[in-house]
A and B are shown apart, each in its own frame.
Chain A
Amino acid sequence: MKRVFPRLTGTRRVLVFAGILTLLAIGGTFLLDPFRNFQLATAAAYLCAVGGLTLLIGLSGQLSLGHAALMAAGGYGYALTSNALTDAGVDGVVRFAVALVAGVVAASLLGLLLGLAGARLRGPYLAGLTLALVIALPAFTSVFSAVFRGDQGVQTAYSPVPEFLNRLIALEQWQAWVAIGVASVTTTALVLVRRGVGGLRMRAVRDDETAARVNGVAVRRVKVTAFTVSAAAAGAGGAVLCFVTQSVSPGGYTLAFSLLLLVAAVIGGLGSIGGAALGAVIIVVLPWLLNVLAGALELPTELEQRLSGNLSVLVFGVLLIIVMLVRPTGLAGSWGVRRRTKSTHTSADAELGFTASADRMPGSDQAPNRQSPASTTGTTSNPSKQFLAQER
């Protein structure tokens, strides 16, 4: 990536590349049929959430099993606002924009609450808290069923293709455009956070809280910020998903889905936005591909029934194990690792966000002898000190 426009640097470089990738993705929708465009839109929505999750885990070292619930918050925020606006006679771009913002705000607020608790909790306890959140979701929506309509969820009116594009593109393509646009803004923001001072502080907190605190980093505030930013991204994803499917229900945001987002983040490469994109596409395409395969094999009906739905869970488990054994830094991460051996630590880390910063994955703190490829390439024994030296 560095070889393209080598002299373009800083934020401007990020924005130019974001623009190019967005245009490529939007151009790509012309090559796809409606169903593939729907899958693309879904993947774009997932990308928002996986991107937020990867920032949270890979950068700030906090584990969340509840990102499905944060997406749901975004979805419900979007749906309820959109319905209120429809009743008030508002539609079109205004309705979408306001509802999207409402979804992001709803998820951010929930994320802020979780972050406040998270700053006081560590590792498994935080994971437990977020786990409880996602498990409690169906109960919550059925207790307040007057608002959330229980298991049935909330339906919204759909937004048609704008008049001037009507002849040019199909509805699914339009939805993919919107999803790509939101995902693009979200991930660009995440990349900017990641490569800015905030990202540096998050890394410092992840690597050694005490050292970070000694160096004047407000550890709690950084953790809460990371959680809120991550939640906002997930909320945007949930809102987009609701826009694409015109509905949000607790059944769509189960614990299994939460774990799937985590799998996407880990398979792609923790901390890397490129990895998040790869992971998001994998969790959309793989289950579909497996079902097509299972269908093509002409298996006995009963066996096919049993495989259907369950097969993808199995394959994701196997895939996760293989990736962890062969490329512990994730699919996208390994490229960054290889490059890191050639260039210096800091310049590789300042890359657009397409490199892994998984040199210290959560949980590896207690196992300094477990050598991951990344940690062998590190130039200093305590990277956080180096970061902080830079920061000043």
Chain B
Amino acid sequence: MSHQSSASRSARRFGVLLAASALVLTACSTPSAPGSDSDDPAATGDSTGVTDTTVTIGTHTPLTGPAAAGYSSISAAATAYFEYINEEGGVHGREIEYIVKDDGYNPANTQTVVRELVQQDEVFAIVNGLGTATHQSVLEFLNQNKVPDLFVASGSTSWNQPDKYPFTFGFNADYVVEGAALAQYAADELPGTSVCMLGQDDDFGDDFLTGLETALGADGVAHVERYSVSNQDVTAQIGALQAAGCEVVTLATINGFTALAIGTAAQLGWFPQWMASSSGADYPTLQGYLGDAAPQLLQGFIGTNYSPMGDDDWVTLFREINDEYNDGAPFDGNTIYGMSVAYTFAEALAAAGEDPTRESLLEAITSGDLQGNGIAPLAFAPDNHAAYLTVGITSVDQGVQDYIGTTYEVRGGAVTAVEPAPVALTGNGIPG
């Protein structure tokens, strides 16, 4: 037994040695927790990612994988807009560096790339992280680390919880707002019709249904069908909606499934009035899916939106920037969306002052002074982290999608028709 005890003694000595060296290391190399700088009384704020000449921000977005086809152009458009701003002198003399990381629409990847952005690249803020499931997986992390989590590219109501997630702000009009606006439009313009819903089997569908019921009452929706993104066949759902005698079908669908639903119904010889949320109502994208049949199938197709559209100064500017800084990539709703996000961030950064900190950035956003470039001024406030509570109704006519002038505001569970108040383009789209 003696040899064993001597062995374990030497092991113990080894362990003590290890523990001692660990303690020594602690003193010199323990990484300070992000955000712990605020312990320092001399510090006036957290300016991680800001230098004299640059502001570095980052995003996670699908550049590969199943969602890349619909969404990879958003970050490219935003990058082009930032390049335009940088070329014109930047914001308060600082260039904006936008680091785009691919997460393949997979939450596991999102967690890795967002940690990399925050801890390795030390970004000032995460801007326009894309996807509900993906972004939800880093929501807790970003708020723990006090990283501004701006303008999430998803309409989930999760982003609008100022008490729980004070650092997170949405960009899309949330799905409750869009659902309520579409249902109100159906009630106003097509009274007495039977309104149904086809929705994604997640928060998107849940929130949208909440919105429909906000406008139509708890039993105002005649029939509800759900689909899962992993199953590319909605024949059963469309058949059930047809059998239920639906006249208006509202869609809480992404673009691919909007096209799938409309195409499937057409094959069954069924042509109800379609109404879709902005996430699945982009005409150029739908045209890509439906091909030559698009103008016919989508005639009179109703949607919601809040970004500039049609014949507008913003759109003209965006087209020029797209040609010059984005190699003339196809110009669609995603392009407008990406550039609008970029403009909104630049506006917030300009409002955050000469020497922006994370604190002053959040203050600028919640102050309520930000305008944005949408159909109505941004709705950010201390108790509201949703960008748009006002959406306009769009329609497709002869292959052209534009606002029809009907606009709804959804606040505190009430839907009211309001006059659209689009924010005019000033200063060539360079804020500050």
Residues of A within 8 A of B (CB): 5, 7-8, 12, 16, 19-20, 23-24, 26-27, 30-35, 37-38, 42, 138-139, 142, 145, 149-153, 155, 157-158, 168-173, 245-247, 249, 251-254, 257, 288, 301, 305-306, 308-310
User: Does A249 lie within 8 Å of B133, measured CB to CB?
Assistant: yes
Pick from A12, A33, A151, A246: contact of B4, CB below 8 A: A12
Q: Does B112 contact A (CB under 8 A)?
A: yes
Binds A, one of B171-179, B225-233, B345-353, B397-405: B225-233
User: Does B8 lie within 8 Å of A308, measured CB to CB?
Assistant: no
- Which of B26, B30, B120, B230 gathers the greatest number of chain A CB atoms within 10 Å? B230
Pick from A145, A170, A172: contact of B202, CB below 8 A: A145
Binds A, one of B102-110, B190-198, B215-223, B385-393: B102-110
Pick from B7, B72, B202: contact of A5, CB below 8 A: B7
Within 8 Å CB of B120, what residues of A?
33, 35
Q: Does B144 contact A (CB under 8 A)?
A: yes
User: Does B3 lie within 8 Å of A27, measured CB to CB?
Assistant: no
User: Does A251 lie within 8 Å of B64, measured CB to CB?
Assistant: no
Known: A34-B34, A247-B137. A19 touches B228 (CB 8 A): no
User: What are the interface flags for B269-290 relative to A under an 8 Å C-beta threshold, 1 for contact and 0 otherwise?
Assistant: 0000000000000000000000
User: Does A173 lie within 8 Å of B30, measured CB to CB?
Assistant: yes
Q: Does B382 contact A (CB under 8 A)?
A: no
Q: Does B413 contact A (CB under 8 A)?
A: no
User: Does A155 lie within 8 Å of B201, measured CB to CB?
Assistant: no
A–B complex contacts, Cβ < 8 Å, 7 sampled: A7-B7, A27-B18, A34-B119, A170-B30, A301-B76, A308-B102, A310-B64
Please give the distance in Å from B75's CB to the nearest CB on chain A.
9
Known: A142-B228, A153-B137, A245-B111. A169 touches B30 (CB 8 A): yes
How many residues in B have their beta carbons less than 8 Å from beta carbons of A? Answer: 54
Pick from B11, B19, B140: contact of A246, CB below 8 A: B140
- Which of B14, B109, B134, B144 gathers the greatest number of chain A CB atoms within 10 Å? B14
User: Does B108 lie within 8 Å of A252, measured CB to CB?
Assistant: yes
Please give the distance in Å from A370's CB to the nearest CB on chain B.
37
Please give the distance in Å from B30's CB to the nearest CB on chain A.
6
User: Does B22 lie within 8 Å of A152, measured CB to CB?
Assistant: no
Please give the distance in Å from A195's CB to the nearest CB on chain B.
18
User: Does A142 lie within 8 Å of B63, measured CB to CB?
Assistant: no
Within 8 Å CB of A172, what residues of B?
31, 119
Q: Does B267 contact A (CB under 8 A)?
A: no
Q: Does B92 contact A (CB under 8 A)?
A: no
Within 8 Å CB of B3, what residues of A?
7-8
Please give the distance in Å from A295's CB to the nearest CB on chain B.
9
User: Does B228 lie within 8 Å of A150, measured CB to CB?
Assistant: yes
Known: A5-B11, A152-B202, A152-B203. A30 touches B22 (CB 8 A): yes
Within 8 Å CB of B102, what residues of A?
305, 308-309
Pick from B14, B65, B133: contact of A153, CB below 8 A: B133
Known: A251-B106, A252-B108. A16 touches B8 (CB 8 A): yes
Q: Does B132 contact A (CB under 8 A)?
A: yes
Q: Does B136 contact A (CB under 8 A)?
A: yes
Pick from B26, B106, B202, B229: contact of A168, CB below 8 A: B26
Q: Does B94 contact A (CB under 8 A)?
A: no
Within 8 Å CB of B64, what residues of A?
305-306, 308-310
Residue of A nearest to B120 (CB): A35
Within 8 Å CB of B202, what residues of A?
145, 149-152
Within 8 Å CB of A31, what residues of B?
25, 29
User: Does A153 lie within 8 Å of B107, measured CB to CB?
Assistant: yes
Given the complex of chains A and B, what is the CA–CA distance between A252 and B31 in angstroms? 28
Within 8 Å CB of B201, what residues of A?
142, 145, 150-151
Given the complex of chains A and B, what is the CA–CA distance between A361 and B63 in angstroms? 38
User: What are the interface flags for B250-261 relative to A under an 8 Å C-beta threshold, 1 for contact and 0 otherwise?
Assistant: 000000000000
Pick from A30, A306, A309: contact of B25, CB below 8 A: A30
Q: Does B21 contact A (CB under 8 A)?
A: yes
User: Does A254 lie within 8 Å of B30, measured CB to CB?
Assistant: no
Given the complex of chains A and B, what is the CA–CA distance between A155 and B201 in angstroms? 17
Pick from B7, B11, B34, B108: contact of A19, CB below 8 A: B11
Given the complex of chains A and B, what is the CA–CA distance between A151 and B66 in angstroms? 14
Pick from B22, B111, B115, B230: contact of A26, CB below 8 A: B22
User: Does A249 lie within 8 Å of B137, measured CB to CB?
Assistant: yes
Please give the distance in Å from B101's CB to the nearest CB on chain A.
8
- Which of A16, A152, A171 gathers the greatest number of chain B CB atoms within 10 Å? A152
- Interface positions of B from 19 to 57, Cβ below 8 Å from A: 19, 21-22, 25-26, 29-34
User: Does A27 lie within 8 Å of B22, measured CB to CB?
Assistant: yes
User: Does A251 lie within 8 Å of B108, measured CB to CB?
Assistant: yes
Given the complex of chains A and B, what is the CA–CA distance between A28 and B184 in angstroms? 60
- Which of B10, B31, B139 gathers the greatest number of chain A CB atoms within 10 Å? B31
Given the complex of chains A and B, what is the CA–CA distance between A254 and B108 in angstroms? 10
Within 8 Å CB of B65, what residues of A?
309
User: Does B11 lie within 8 Å of A247, measured CB to CB?
Assistant: no
Within 8 Å CB of A145, what residues of B?
201-202
Given the complex of chains A and B, what is the CA–CA distance between A102 and B342 in angstroms? 45
Within 8 Å CB of B136, what residues of A?
152-153, 155, 247
Given the complex of chains A and B, what is the CA–CA distance between A5 and B201 in angstroms? 59
User: Does B21 lie within 8 Å of A27, measured CB to CB?
Assistant: yes
Given the complex of chains A and B, what is the CA–CA distance between A372 and B367 in angstroms? 70
Known: A7-B4, A151-B133. A138 touches B230 (CB 8 A): yes
Given the complex of chains A and B, what is the CA–CA distance between A157 and B116 in angstroms? 21
Residue of B nearest to A17 (CB): B11
Given the complex of chains A and B, what is the CA–CA distance between A26 and B21 in angstroms? 11
Within 8 Å CB of A12, what residues of B?
4, 8
Within 8 Å CB of A247, what residues of B?
107, 111, 136-137, 140
Within 8 Å CB of B18, what residues of A?
20, 23-24, 27
Given the complex of chains A and B, what is the CA–CA distance between A33 and B229 in angstroms? 38
Please give the distance in Å from A156's CB to the nearest CB on chain B.
8
Given the complex of chains A and B, what is the CA–CA distance between A38 and B231 in angstroms? 34
Known: A35-B120, A249-B137, A309-B63. A257 touches B22 (CB 8 A): no
User: Does B107 lie within 8 Å of A249, measured CB to CB?
Assistant: yes
Given the complex of chains A and B, what is the CA–CA distance between A246 and B25 in angstroms? 29
Q: Does B15 contact A (CB under 8 A)?
A: yes
User: Does B7 lie within 8 Å of A139, measured CB to CB?
Assistant: no
Within 8 Å CB of A252, what residues of B?
106-108
User: Does A158 lie within 8 Å of B203, measured CB to CB?
Assistant: no
Within 8 Å CB of B34, what residues of A?
34
